Chain A
Amino acid sequence: MARFLSIYFTNLRCDYLAIRKPELKGKIYVFTIAQRGRIQVSASSGEAEKHGIFTNMALADAKAIIPNVQAFDDEIDFNKKLLTRIAKWATRYAPTVSIDLPDGIILDTSGCSHLLGGEEKYLESILSKLNQSGYTCRGAISDTIGTSWAIARLGVKLMIIQPGNQYNALLNLPPMALRLEPHIIQRLHKLGFDKIGKFIQLPTSVLRRRFGTEFLLRLHQAIGTEEESITPIVVKPPFEERLFCLEPICTKPAIEIAIEKLLETLCARLSNEGMGIRLAELIGYRLDGKVTQIKIGTNQPTHNIKHLAKLFELKIAQIEPALGIELFIMTATKTEPLFIHQEKLWNGKPGLADQGLAQLLDRLAGKVGAQAIRRYIPEAHYWPERSLRPAVSLEEKSEIQWQKNNPRPMEMLHRPASIQVTAPIPDYPPMNFRYKDELHIVSKADGPERIEREWWMEPGEHRDYYLLEDDKGRRYWVFRSGHYNEEQSDWFLHGFFA
């Protein structure tokens, strides 16, 4: 049976400000918003309400009551933002949480409350946390969203409605507890229906004719004969595991144990469905209300507990437990179907497809960052700097071959170094060159190899490359930028040959 908790914030907007500005506590202040050509009160503090300043009143009227009332500019949709934030915080109590505009949130607590020792303690724990942070709020738990909503707002004593008891719980409440349009409520009051119990037993055909289908829907939703669902703010990913800690955790071994326990259950589910983790995250909810998280990624889908535990272990240092972590949630944010490699009995090593290698690279990526790991595949360019590019994945293979016809240097400088050269006649290799204050006498030379600049990509001169060997046997790759020019030719050293 589903159970829902509805939390009602009696004065959300003003509480929010009072938390940030403690000096406002107990003062008379209002929020205003420009509407239909006048300035209206959109929210008023508890003290202001006592003096008769209510929402939707014109600011001018409010000022007539209290001349020096403090007015703050309100923001459109601010409540929505604030409730979303609170709802996100509340996901630590239940995975499905939705906001209930304008002044509440709803939690689907089915199967959650026993984790905190029953519904009473569960409700108390949430409400006291919210109260401590400065929000005045009420909450109620029942089988339906409608009843919870009604009890949270208008209930008197009993805030937890036992399963199946919605009907009785609603009897003494006024019709506004049913989330109805104002004109329907007015009509009900006009007809003397000031309590739900007075009309709940009337035949549906009569009620439909008088108050419309919307009214019936709300009534049945509250009783539970009609289904109602909520839109969660965070869609729960299919692979998620939670671990409540008996005591707040703040040591490394404890976190390791938590990770292992979570992985055990998560990986068991994954392996049943033949899936593997590509991305996963571990979220720790701290005692002080903050959230700390770490993320891991893998090169191949896997549900190997040992391997994943190792990846998380590398990141434990990034977790800040502060006073302690009370809840861990592990989520497989990206999963992929597992492909099972056929293992060869003989002929051992499968190269890049090797499992061990993939796991090694995952660990390295976890420690030093994935951007440090590169593999290169050839590109269809002659320009040396562009003749290769980093591969996207371990499996990626290029259609093109590495070009072999011309020699390429073992070491290439990222940026060609300027050198001074003595060259006898155009298109002849240099006789000597000066690099880093050392004169190199060229004894053997090869070239030139002309490489045109790809003018559709960048402007500039072509390069004439020479392979030079100096008198000590050291081999260099130098080029002249552009054509030979008697006055001034630019020469560069671009690499070293083996």
Chain B
Amino acid sequence: MTAEKQEILASLRKQILEVQGFKSGFTANGDSFGLDKIEACFPNSIFPTGTIHEFISEQAEDTAASEGFIAGLLAKLMKNGNSCLWISSSRKLFPPSLEAYGVDPQQIIFIDLNYSKEILWVMEEALKCEGLACVIAEISDIDFAQSRRLQLATEKSQVTGFLLRKEPKRMLSATACTARWQIKPQPTALIAGIPGVGNPRWEVDLLKVKNGEGGKFLIEWAEDRFVLVDTEKEQLVLHAKQVG
């Protein structure tokens, strides 16, 4: 395919998106989240901020992985000193650990509640506050109407919202969220013979993307940024290092 044709295709895709009601230009700063190929899944190849993302976690280990991934995203969102709200019931997140992902835990305000009704109310109120970079809520279940409310609030204020759905009890139904993620921990890679544990590595499964296509990726948090892992290449590198 020639470059010309590709350009035509890209502009046509854009037109389709506009017809579908997708508003472009969500990321004002134009900063990339360093998610590389994952960002290509989203419309216009931009990680959408100012919208709701949903993270599914079935076990405590998955929750930890999702929180790690979210922390990596937060580092970018909170880069210019903005604060964020972390709403939860029975929270286990250990704030000092966020430091390793480049997030200052002092900038995060935690709100610990008992009922999911309260969590939703607080999240909606918080999403209306433009002074925040991001609002994260830990909640197990949410229905379409509730998520729609949150989505409407976030569209107005351009605050990014993350829903961390810990061990959902009901079947996953449709929500108004822009993307549905599932993050699972994966074995880390180290050069053979070296003791210890490597960089945090996750399998990122984009289950659903509005106006985009999902996908499965292997990703690592290394040297304060996301690195997409290519398993075959990595084997060669590790092997070469071992030999060398």
With A404-B100, A443-B187, A496-B63 in contact, is A357–B94 under 8 Å at CB?
Answer: no
Chain A residue contacts of B110, Cβ below 8 A = 373-376
* Distance in angstroms between the alpha carbons of A181 and B145 in the assembled complex: 79
Q: Is A190 close to B, CB under 8 A?
A: no
Q: B4-12, B13-21, B33-41, B194-202: which one contacts chain A?
A: B194-202
Chain A residue contacts of B97, Cβ below 8 A = 407-410, 412, 498
Q: Is B25 close to A, CB under 8 A?
A: no
- Give B28 Cβ to nearest chain A Cβ, in Å: 10
- Give B62 Cβ to nearest chain A Cβ, in Å: 9
Interface contact B63-A407, CB-CB below 8 Å: no
- Give B204 Cβ to nearest chain A Cβ, in Å: 12
- Give B122 Cβ to nearest chain A Cβ, in Å: 6
Set A367, A408, A411, A445: member contacting B92, Cβ < 8 A: A411
Interface contact A410-B197, CB-CB below 8 Å: no
Q: Is A467 close to B, CB under 8 A?
A: yes
* Distance in angstroms between the alpha carbons of A376 and B108 in the assembled complex: 8
Interface contact B107-A352, CB-CB below 8 Å: yes
A376-418 toward B: CB 8 Å interface, digit per residue (1/0)?
Answer: 1110000010011001000001100011100111111110000
With A368-B111, A408-B97 in contact, is A376–B106 under 8 Å at CB?
Answer: yes
Q: Is A495 close to B, CB under 8 A?
A: yes
Interface contact A364-B188, CB-CB below 8 Å: no
* Distance in angstroms between the alpha carbons of A446 and B93 in the assembled complex: 21
Interface contact B96-A411, CB-CB below 8 Å: no
Chain A residue contacts of B96, Cβ below 8 A = 378, 387-388, 402-403, 408
Chain A residue contacts of B143, Cβ below 8 A = none
With A374-B112, A445-B197 in contact, is A471–B187 under 8 Å at CB?
Answer: yes
Nearest B residue to A495 by beta-carbon distance? B94
Q: A92-100, A130-138, A472-480: which one contacts chain B?
A: A472-480
Set A356, A384, A388, A469: member contacting B130, Cβ < 8 A: A356
| A325-377 residues at the B interface, CB under 8 angstroms | 347, 349-352, 354-357, 359-361, 363-364, 367-368, 372-377
With A351-B107, A368-B122, A498-B67 in contact, is A444–B185 under 8 Å at CB?
Answer: no
With A467-B197, A498-B200 in contact, is A364–B106 under 8 Å at CB?
Answer: no
Interface size on B, residues (CB 8 A): 54
Interface of chain B: mostly helix, strand, loop or mixed: mixed
Set B92, B132, B133, B188: member contacting A473, Cβ < 8 A: B188
With A376-B95, A410-B94, A498-B67 in contact, is A356–B187 under 8 Å at CB?
Answer: no
Chain B residue contacts of A495, Cβ below 8 A = 64, 92, 94
Chain B residue contacts of A350, Cβ below 8 A = 81, 131
B104-130 toward A: CB 8 Å interface, digit per residue (1/0)?
Answer: 011111111100001001100110011
Chain A residue contacts of B121, Cβ below 8 A = 367
* Distance in angstroms between the alpha carbons of A372 and B126 in the assembled complex: 15
Q: Is A199 close to B, CB under 8 A?
A: no
Interface contact B100-A407, CB-CB below 8 Å: yes
Interface contact B61-A474, CB-CB below 8 Å: yes
| A426-474 residues at the B interface, CB under 8 angstroms | 443-446, 467-469, 471-474
**Closest A-B pairs by Cβ, 3 of them:** A498-B68, A354-B131, A496-B64
**Which B residues contact A (CB, under 8 angstroms)?**
60-61, 63-65, 67-69, 71, 80-83, 92-97, 99-100, 105-113, 118, 121-122, 125-126, 129-133, 184-188, 190, 195-198, 200-202, 221
